[in-house]
Chains A and B, each alone.
Chain A
């Protein structure tokens, strides 16, 4: 190999004074980083992905992990990543796949937005003592309510509601397919979501029968590969989502490496064992907005208009106009996935360079839908890089009804964001199908982590709302007056329709 090797990404060291030779690290590392020779644990640092499984499992804190122990000569343009991508492609001549979200080094807009609280002129509301309502209905709403007053003075309701999802919190779990993640991971997420009265997406991998008990809390996805889609699948879901695009890789389809397609995944997805599941970039029956409207109606017709149908798109430059087109089809909700969205595997150039941040996308979509007078009739779900309850609160204040979380939910299951999901050896039992690894994640225990996470965030949102003098989530939605921009440029402030810090009411 004429280029030779690149510097190791990590250096792992064992403190032999502390080590008790229990071999937990050897057992836990699926990449073969550790081995025992004589009375010593030896390490091959090059095998390490930084997943921290060994560190979490070592009973003696005997493992040291250093990131980038040998770096390149520093250069502002020719970063390590830039150089290594070139070495890689010089060697292989291929497209580079990468896992997890965007690693572009720009501060999230969320971190430049600040929330409001009440002082003196209006009292804050204490969620421990007063009711605080986070219930969110996802789906079509009537633009107006019609009633008739009967001769005896009773009021008769003439407007009928379309089916909506009733979420007890504005936090839902986004689509991560069986195949991309393990069944145990899906089970944990589904049970955790159900326990919190919210919903989770199946992803494009079909619905495994072990998930049937949670089907009333699951949103089934129809993606371009149509994996796992039949009438039974559609009827089981609480709602149906058409996936047009995804924030981590707008404009292209899914990538499930064949290594992750075992017997069970193949059965649920309805594809051959070990075949790469590469879903096509466009839906082959959707080449225009009219085609999409047709598919939305088709799915509704197939399920007797009993299920809300969502359409998910990646946040691209023209996201507002596209969302507006979707809103005016019979779709019940538009899902916008920002460019920080995670993924099991995406081409690196897409993950880092295509699409726009969710903050700007939500603001633009909300504005456009209002301009067309349809905002109130359709729900907006935002996703892509939501890290905590403050991000959720800000997203809703910018105009979303609810959010999908993905990476955050996986982190609650132990994921360390090591970014090696595409290798199918996730040491946490999440992004893998290897039975011994999957068994590490016990859904009967781990669902509580997911449930706790959603519960904790929900409590925090309630506190943030109460501090802002708001006791119902509807009054937070699109309430950009309660946001201030801190060191954002004027153009962006205009898009977000947010005033600068220091500006009064």
Chain B
């Protein structure tokens, strides 16, 4: 018998009714991600991660790939490194620079060096600024970060032909539509060095081949690479909007960055807890926890229900202090982690990690919703 089901039929059984009984009814996107951190802060150049990402080409379709590197600009470590796509260098650039100068000073303005690739169609002109906002230019309460967020919203919603997609200090995001190796060659990724890398190979379903839609996605110190689809996007977006975030990238990934920013930066939750809020334990598990833990988890879930991310996902989220990998609550997307000395790897596939490092000491599959965190010492 199908215990949960009933048939939609006429209620015609009179006997049961007659004798006062209740009338009874007759029962009868796939993507590839990889990330590495060197916990001693030792820089690594981009060639290894490029090879690792290309190994996962089956997980992409040549419509988007990207790299994030922390520690990219040691000479300008105190400046916000702004990466933009310009459609042309005439109108949008002048308006953007006018906006930037309103709130701070541009130290360096330059085209990001690229080299033409036969398979890659140059849709935009990648540009970068090293920028310092004036503290207090927005009033006493606004922080530098608030200024940057304002600028990002302004550029991305109001200035056609310009897209600001990288706003961290000492962080560089490099992305485009194309296969991982072509995007890497285009930006000459191997020339950059950093203690922490995130890379993403895309099989887009919701925003086709648009450069801005490629990952990694960055906001200030936060960077995200993401495999999956967030079915709670509408809920998360509306929640974030009530805190003044604007979701403008047409991708569900940006909500991960904003949610992490909200919880870990603005609400100052420890990263483990912030990630717990995004993929919390089930109520059944919470109900059976020891009292203190139960209280904590109940409070987090009740307060941050709208931050809970649903749907299949595997994510690596990073800031300058480290990287963290997490999957959805029932692990509908793969994620493996591995360690070799100071290095922690998080990836969709073990094979990709092995391209970067043959000598792994420890390799494991994190459980659903259980964060893997690597911090710089």
Spot the interface stretch: A43-51, A415-423, A473-481. Answer: A473-481
List residues of chain B with CB within 8 A of the CB of A348.
none
Across the interface, B308 reaches (CB within 8 A) one of A144, A446, A472, namely A472
Structural contact, B299 and A445, CB atoms closer than 8 A: no
How far apart are the CA atoms of A141 and B237 in the complex, in Å? 19
Structural contact, A459 and B310, CB atoms closer than 8 A: no
Q: Mark B231-246, 1 if CB is under 8 A from A, else 0.
A: 1111101110111000
Spot the interface stretch: A265-273, A337-345, A370-378. Answer: A370-378
List residues of chain B with CB within 8 A of the CB of A170.
none
How far apart are the CA atoms of A123 and B311 in the complex, in Å? 8
* Shortest Cβ distance from residue B231 to the other chain A in the assembled complex, whole angstroms: 4
B74 within 8 A of A: no
B269 within 8 A of A: yes
Across the interface, A479 reaches (CB within 8 A) one of B14, B232, B304, namely B232
List residues of chain A with CB within 8 A of the CB of B23.
414
| Given A131-B284, A370-B242, A456-B6, A471 and B303 contact (CB-CB distance below 8 Å) | no
Structural contact, A448 and B269, CB atoms closer than 8 A: no
A167-202 residues at the B interface, CB under 8 angstroms: none
Please indicate which of the listed interface residues B206, B237, B309, B310 has the most CB atoms of chain A within 10 Å of its own CB: B310
B283 within 8 A of A: yes
How far apart are the CA atoms of A459 and B273 in the complex, in Å? 31
* Shortest Cβ distance from residue B329 to the other chain A in the assembled complex, whole angstroms: 7
* Shortest Cβ distance from residue B68 to the other chain A in the assembled complex, whole angstroms: 24
List residues of chain B with CB within 8 A of the CB of A475.
231-232, 235, 308-311
B312 within 8 A of A: yes
Structural contact, A471 and B305, CB atoms closer than 8 A: no
A253 within 8 A of B: no
Structural contact, B269 and A145, CB atoms closer than 8 A: yes
Closest partner residue, chain B, to A124 (CB atom): B231
A230 within 8 A of B: no
| Given A130-B330, A446-B22, A469-B311, A478 and B234 contact (CB-CB distance below 8 Å) | yes
List residues of chain B with CB within 8 A of the CB of A213.
none
B229 within 8 A of A: yes
Closest partner residue, chain B, to A456 (CB atom): B6
A505 within 8 A of B: yes
B282 within 8 A of A: yes
| Given A445-B22, A468-B231, A159 and B303 contact (CB-CB distance below 8 Å) | yes
* Shortest Cβ distance from residue A253 to the other chain B in the assembled complex, whole angstroms: 35
A161 within 8 A of B: yes
| Given A122-B229, A135-B283, A471-B330, A370 and B21 contact (CB-CB distance below 8 Å) | no
List residues of chain B with CB within 8 A of the CB of A459.
4
A457-505 residues at the B interface, CB under 8 angstroms: 459, 468-472, 474-482, 504-505
| Given A121-B205, A155-B296, A159-B299, A149 and B4 contact (CB-CB distance below 8 Å) | no
Structural contact, A122 and B228, CB atoms closer than 8 A: yes
Structural contact, B267 and A505, CB atoms closer than 8 A: no
Closest partner residue, chain B, to A153 (CB atom): B270
A108 within 8 A of B: no
Structural contact, B267 and A145, CB atoms closer than 8 A: yes
A380-428 residues at the B interface, CB under 8 angstroms: 397, 399, 414
Across the interface, A122 reaches (CB within 8 A) one of B20, B300, B312, namely B312
* Shortest Cβ distance from residue A413 to the other chain B in the assembled complex, whole angstroms: 9
Structural contact, B273 and A481, CB atoms closer than 8 A: no
Across the interface, B22 reaches (CB within 8 A) one of A121, A130, A448, namely A448
Q: Mark B1-35, 1 if CB is under 8 A from A, else 0.
A: 00010100000001001101111000001000000
List residues of chain A with CB within 8 A of the CB of B305.
141, 376, 472, 474, 477
Q: Is the interface of A mostly helix, strand, loop or mixed?
A: loop
* Shortest Cβ distance from residue B244 to the other chain A in the assembled complex, whole angstroms: 9
B308-353 residues at the A interface, CB under 8 angstroms: 308-312, 329-330, 332
Closest partner residue, chain A, to B301 (CB atom): A474
Question: How many pairs of residues, A versus B, come closer than 8 Å at their CB atoms?
Answer: 148
Interface size counted on chain A using CB atoms at 8 A? 60
List residues of chain A with CB within 8 A of the CB of B329.
471-472
* Shortest Cβ distance from residue A442 to the other chain B in the assembled complex, whole angstroms: 5
Q: Mark A129-144, 1 if CB is under 8 A from B, else 0.
A: 0110101010001111
* Shortest Cβ distance from residue A467 to the other chain B in the assembled complex, whole angstroms: 10
* Shortest Cβ distance from residue B355 to the other chain A in the assembled complex, whole angstroms: 27
Across the interface, B310 reaches (CB within 8 A) one of A137, A371, A469, A480, namely A469
A86 within 8 A of B: no
List residues of chain B with CB within 8 A of the CB of A118.
231
B109 within 8 A of A: no
A298 within 8 A of B: no
Structural contact, A147 and B284, CB atoms closer than 8 A: no
| Residues of A in contact with B (beta carbons under 8 Å apart) | 56-57, 59, 118, 121-123, 125, 128, 130-131, 133, 135, 137, 141-147, 149, 155, 157, 159, 161, 164, 366, 370-371, 373, 375-376, 397, 399, 414, 442, 445-446, 448-449, 452, 456, 459, 468-472, 474-482, 504-505
Q: A133-B283, A376-B242, A414-B23 are in contact. List 9 more A-B contacts (CB 8 A).
A: A57-B17, A122-B332, A131-B330, A143-B303, A376-B303, A445-B21, A470-B311, A480-B238, A481-B237
What are 26 sample pairs from A and B whose C-beta atoms fall under 8 A apart? A121-B29, A121-B205, A122-B231, A123-B332, A145-B267, A149-B270, A155-B270, A155-B273, A161-B298, A370-B238, A370-B239, A370-B242, A414-B23, A445-B21, A445-B22, A468-B231, A469-B231, A469-B311, A471-B329, A472-B305, A474-B308, A475-B232, A479-B235, A480-B234, A481-B233, A481-B237
